[in-house]
Amino acid sequence: MRVELDEPKCVASGQCVMAAPEVFDQRDDDGVAILLDEHPVSELHDGVREAAAICPAAAIRLVEG
């Protein structure tokens, strides 16, 4: 799985951090998402899929495979 974050679309809701804290973080000052791991290990995939599903800005794209 490859994770892509469309940062200009991010509205800093932090939902990705709640769903997959190992893969996403937020900048301290404005909360914009930070992608920590573009190729997360398979144990983290469910959390990453949830993050993509609940991102209110639809800013997370997953390339499965």
Residues that bind other proteins (CB under 8 A): 8-9, 11-14, 17-19, 25-32, 50, 53-54, 56-58
How many angstroms separate the CA atoms of 46 and 28, rounded? 26
State the nearest-atom distance from the C-beta of 43 to other proteins, in Å.
Answer: 16
Cβ of residue 12: shortest distance to other proteins, in angstroms? 4
- CB-wise, 41 or 53, nearer to other proteins? 53
Q: 31 to each of 37, 41, 43, 49, 62, how far by Cα in Å?
A: 18, 25, 26, 20, 21
